Structure 1
């Protein structure tokens, strides 16, 4: 069973983040997570996602007009102000002429809502491109983030809690992280408002008369978590899942 490695190599000077912990490259035998740099990765994300509007079925995003639209609406408006550590997901098993190309760029994932005071974080922005779904990519990407977050220093951050939130209708997302040891903690009713008509995410309850946001969709969220004491028993199983070939 291979041991994922955490690179301490100096990151490109064009990489800027407000994240509260060091942002390092994380790497397993088959997947690398490298800090998302708009000049290197934004166009790869746009080109890889443009044909798949259903990628946003369960999140309040729409398709983007071009790479600069993605940078404006996601990187500049959400990632940087909120201190998100966003990673580009690279599939090392795909032959590529460069470290990051359309052949091996598999999507994005990151840490959000991170609290150094409470030693907690949330894995979010998990958007794996359809050609890389149902492969080793998602398991390895989440596993690398779990290892860095929950392992003790100097190899990890020594956090106590990693959480995952998903729309209650997104059973694929919920099932995927439960297989890695995340435990269901709560159903947050009426947790989010979606503007638009994404029927796939609605909680199915009609809005009340006089609602301040008429015509919007109410959604429920599922909250799951994997904590340090879970990790002590689940770590080996997660690494085995990352190594699995079928």
Structure 2
């Protein structure tokens, strides 16, 4: 599948990434946006720990995420995550039966040979399966493997709300190391108290009624990758 030129604005070459059980293909709104909205609409809890609210429809998702964030930023590459295992499905033709969510790179710097895996939103029916591990593993391989098979980057980082222990534990199992807790790193508008750092609001705060959140910063660097690569591939192939 070839992505339309207007859908890709990444600073590195974007290509499909594939394992035995999962395929990552560049996100094309005409092919994938409605699948994402329809698949996520019943699960507003997907956004509990990120500063997004549930989208009203497909065009709302495209406007806010694709047009508002992805396309203008050369540091972002967004992928559709396709599960290759459902019987009778074709990974080259995504449907509600095999479209598993989205994931990609952000904060990518060619000058510093670094990137961040983000937009990691796997739909609940595909959570606690092989999908998340394979998707992260494929992005790690492409980022950290040496050319010509990979980009040869030196650092891949992951950020998660400090309270999102599922996210933190998932990437630690793949070799990411906790580097810091960034206190008051983000402001969430609204009532996402489950994501808040629990600190009181200061009198006279310029943004009253919003919650402060703390962010866990983890990273996996090229030297870590040399020792962790085999373990990540083994995790991707695990059947139980």
Regarding TM over 0.5, the answer is: yes
Unaligned runs of 5+ in 2: none
Give deviations 1:51-74, integer Å, cap 9, x for gaps: 000000000111111111100011
Q: Supply the distance in 1 between the matched residues of 2:86 and 2:59 (Cα, whole angstroms).
A: 27
Counterpart in 2 of 1:29? Answer: 20
Equivalences, count? 237
Please report how far the alpha carbon of residue 18 of structure 1 lies from its aligned counterpart in structure 2 after TM superposition: 1.6
Q: Secondary structure at the match of 1:108?
A: strand
Counterpart in 2 of 1:38? Answer: 29
Give deviations 1:96-116, integer Å, cap 9, x for gaps: 266211100000000000000
CA RMSD in angstroms comes to 1.1
Q: Supply the distance in 2 between the matched residues of 1:211 and 1:59 (Cα, whole angstroms).
A: 22
Counterpart in 2 of 1:176? Answer: 170
Counterpart in 2 of 1:77? Answer: 68
Please report how far the alpha carbon of residue 82 of structure 1 lies from its aligned counterpart in structure 2 after TM superposition: 2.1
**Could you tell me whether the CA contact under 8 Å between 1:86 and 1:111 is conserved in 2?**
yes
Counterpart in 1 of 2:43? Answer: 52
Q: Secondary structure at the match of 1:101?
A: coil
Give deviations 1:106-156, integer Å, cap 9, x for gaps: 000000000000000000000000000000000000000000000000000
Q: Supply the distance in 1 between the matched residues of 2:234 and 2:52 (Cα, whole angstroms).
A: 34
Equivalences for residues 57-206 of structure 1 within 5 A = 57-83=48-74, 84-95=76-87, 96=89, 99-206=93-200
Give deviations 1:160-180, integer Å, cap 9, x for gaps: 000000000100000000000
TM-score (norm 2): 0.97
Please report how far the alpha carbon of residue 212 of structure 1 lies from its aligned counterpart in structure 2 after TM superposition: 0.6
Counterpart in 2 of 1:219? Answer: 213
- Spell out structure 1 runs of 4+ moving beyond 4 A: none
Counterpart in 2 of 1:238? Answer: 232
TM-score (norm 1): 0.94
